[in-house]
Each structure stands twice: as structure tokens, then as C-alpha cells.
């Protein structure tokens, strides 16, 4: 396979364009592995990259896609052999090095891991970065002493990929969750995933109160801005807030009151985790945090590579929900 299809993002006269192109594969350097992509999850960041909606990629041309699941075709590393099924996410893939939106992905062996035992390639792709990110937040909550009987856990951007997976995983781990969404038409789906409450976030975020009724033992925020501010003001005593995303923007207004009145603790999640944590959390995702994949099925959509650009535009406009994964021909 000397030629392959890839979604290539280029900068032309400072405007960003992405299109499917035929590329020629390069030589494998010592320690590198050639992976035939089967699946590549579509993350919010990828949508920004494909349409140049934020400065994610800085050197062009580039193949976007921060994650990939596939089969080793060739290897110049003794860690992997042809036929092995592997997963890669992070390590600046799809940003500083070519990413998952291509039939072939070349990567150093130290950026790859074998699929966790007990999860199929399709199941790993359904979880991908969003599932791993939710697992990072849950692990941190546990380290900080959160328990299922601590109280309600709020999850914003609930209709999105991280939101839905977080609701489902926390529910399976015994927590009660409140889904914060702008879109109440998702209510039945969010309850089916395990949400105990569904809150229309647009009805509450305009409050000007310096501190709100304490109602959440913890929160996972995927949105930023006024949503993050409201969640922080609504934490109960000792409440924990994981800042994960910026779907509504990078900034937020706030005061010290949640910290000095309610001992709030806020921390950030970065999915580009170090190796021991990657292996540990993927093992948990295959083990005690394994989702009920049948319950996730209505929230997952597989698309062919040529639908990627249209999908990414809709995801940026908030017109999609759940998890979308590109399925390549090799997965069939």
C-alpha cells in the first residue's frame, strides 16, 4: 500500500482548507510503526482544526485527528508486530504530527499501545479521548475522596461526547449525576444513560448571585464561560470541579467566594496523560468502569471519511450530539 487517502488541512493565503487527498507513504524510521487506521474518533478539537476555527495546527499541511485505532501493517520496533491492534491518542497527534484522519498513520512505538484486553477496536474507538477524559476526572475525584454517597455530580455539555460518556460512567460507578444541557430534547437520552436530573443550563446561568444554592458535590465542566462560573458557585462544601473543556469559550468570570466560603477545589484535566496513567485508566475502562456498550449505542454514529468535513462544521455549530467516529474501509 504505497498510496493512501487522507484528510489534509492546508493554509492557503492564511485561510484554512481541508480536503481528501491521495498521499504517498514515507519510509519508516527505526522505532516507527505503520498503522492501518480502522477508526478515528471526531473530537471537538479536530473540528476546530479542520475548519481553522482556532489556532490548533500551526504547521501545514497537516492531517488532523487526535486519536486513531488500527492494525499494525509494518513495524521497525520490537514492541509491535504486523497484525497487532493498537490505539494512539495525544502526543500532539493531529496537531504537530499527522493524525488519525488518514488510512495510514506512521507513529513511533512509544506513542502506541495495544488494545486493552476485553475491548474490541470498535469499543475502544467509541470511548476514545472522551471516555479517557471522563475516566481522568473520575479518578481524580476518587483521589480527592469523592464517593457515590457524597452527593450529586453535575456534568455540563451533557449532550456532547465527553458529557454523555461521563454521565454513563459515573452512573455505572454508583454516582448520581445532574446533566446540564442547553438542549432539553436530549432529556430522555440523558436519563437513559443514567442521569438522575436534567437541568436546562440556559435557565440558570444568567443569575447574578455571588454564590448559589449548594447542590453539587462535584462537577465536570466541558463548556467554560458562564456555565463553569455557575457550576463553581453551585458547589456544596468541599465541592470538586474538573475543568475539561471550552465549548463556549476560554474565559469565565468568578470570585473567590466558592473557595473561601465552601472550600471549593477546581482542577484541570489534560487527556495527554503520562504512560502509567494511560495504561491504568484504559485497564479500568476495560474493567470496573467498562460502559454498557448497548446503552451507548444510540449515542454513537459512524461516518465514512468523506462526511468528516460536513460533520465537523455541524459539531462546531452545536448541531450534533453524542460520539461520532470515522470508520475506514479497513474496519469493514
Binding residues for ligand NAP, per CB under 6 A? 43-45, 129-130, 133, 157-163, 181-183, 186, 222-223, 227, 244-248, 269-271, 315, 318, 321
State which residue, 5 or 315, has the beta carbon closest to ligand NAP: 315
Q: Per DSSP, what are the bridge partners of residue 218?
A: 153, 240
Provide the strand spans (E) within 13-138.
Answer: 15-24, 32-41, 62-63, 67-75, 85-89, 104-108, 113-114
Q: Give the nearer residue to ligand NAP in terms of CB position, either 107 or 312.
A: 312
Give the contacts of 145 (CB within 8 A, at least 6 positions apart).
none
Shortest distance (Å) from residue 273 CB to ligand NAP: 9
Number of other residues whose CB lies within 10 A of the CB of residue 57:
23
For CA atoms 10, 124, 292, 277, give the dihedral sign.
negative
Q: What is the rounded distance in angstroms from the CA atom of residue 193 to the CA atom of residue 299?
A: 9
Closer Cβ to ligand NAP, 2 or 185, answer by number: 185
The minimum distance between CB 318 and ligand NAP, in angstroms, equals 4
Q: How far is the CB of 183 from ligand NAP (least distance, A)?
A: 4
**The three three-digit cell numbers of residue 293, written as one number:** 456498550
Residue given cell 479518578 in the structure block = 139
Kindly tell me which of 130 and 291 has the beta carbon lying closer to ligand NAP: 130
Using the minimum distance from each CB to ligand NAP, give the nearer residue, 34 or 225.
Answer: 225
Asked whether the beta carbons of 190 and 159 are under 8 A apart, the reply is yes
Q: How far is the CB of 303 from ligand NAP (least distance, A)?
A: 14
Q: Taking CB positions, which residue lies at the least distance from ligand NAP?
A: 160
* Residue number with CB closer to ligand NAP (78 or 206): 206
Q: In Å, how far are 30, 92, 216 from 235, measured between CA atoms? A: 51, 34, 5
CB of 77 to ligand NAP, least distance (A): 27
**Rounded least distance, CB 156 to ligand NAP, Å:** 7
Amino acid at each position: 500500500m504505497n498510496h493512501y487517502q487522507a484528510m489534509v488541512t492546508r493554509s492557503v493565503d492564511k485561510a484554512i482548507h481541508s480536503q481528501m487527498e491521495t498521499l504517498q507513504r514515507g519510509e519508516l524510521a527505526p522505532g516507527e510503526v505503520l498503522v492501518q487506521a480502522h477508526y478515528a474518533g471526531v473530537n471537538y478539537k479536530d473540528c476546530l482544526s479542520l475548519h481553522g476555527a482556532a489556532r490548533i495546527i500551526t504547521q501545514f499541511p497537516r492531517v488532523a485527528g487526535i486519536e486513531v485505532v488500527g492494525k499494525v501493517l509494518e513495524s521497525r520496533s520490537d514492541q509491535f508486530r504486523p497484525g497487532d491492534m493498537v490505539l494512539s491518542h495525544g502526543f500532539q497527534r493531529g496537531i504537530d504530527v499527522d493524525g488519525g484522519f488518514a488510512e495510514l498513520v506512521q507513529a513511533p512505538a512509544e506513542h502506541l499501545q495495544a488494545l486493552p484486553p476485553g475491548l474490541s477496536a470498535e469499543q475502544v474507538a467509541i470511548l476514545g479521548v472522551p471516555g479517557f477524559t471522563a475516566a481522568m476526572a473520575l479518578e481524580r475525584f476518587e483521589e480527592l475522596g469523592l464517593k457515590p454517597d457524597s452527593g450529586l455530580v453535575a456534568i455540563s455539555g451533557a449532550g456532547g461526547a465527553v458529557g454523555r460518556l461521563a454521565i454513563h460512567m459515573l452512573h455505572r460507578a454508583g454516582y448520581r449525576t445532574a446533566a446540564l444541557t442547553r438542549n432539553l430534547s436530549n432529556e430522555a437520552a440523558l436519563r437513559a444513560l443514567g442521569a438522575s436530573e436534567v437541568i436546562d443550563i440556559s435557565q440558570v446561568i444568567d443569575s447574578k448571585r455571588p454564590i448559589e444554592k449548594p447542590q453539587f458535590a462535584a462537577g465536570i465542566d466541558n463548556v467554560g464561560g458562564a456555565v463553569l462560573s455557575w457550576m463553581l458557585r453551585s458547589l456544596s462544601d468541599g465541592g470538586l470541579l474538573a475543568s475539561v473543556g471550552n465549548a463556549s469559550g476560554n474565559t469565565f468570570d468568578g470570585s473567590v467566594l466558592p473557595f473561601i466560603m465552601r472550600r471549593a477545589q477546581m482542577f484541570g484535566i489534560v487527556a495527554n496523560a503520562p504512560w502509567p496513567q494511560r495504561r491504568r485508566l484504559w485497564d479500568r475502562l476495560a474493567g470496573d468502569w467498562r460502559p454498557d456498550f448497548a446503552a451507548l449505542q444510540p449515542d454513537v454514529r459512524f461516518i465514512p471519511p468523506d462526511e468528516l468535513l460536513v460533520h465537523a462544521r455541524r459539531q462546531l455549530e452545536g448541531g450534533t450530539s453524542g460520539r461520532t467516529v470515522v470508520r475506514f474501509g479497513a474496519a469493514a
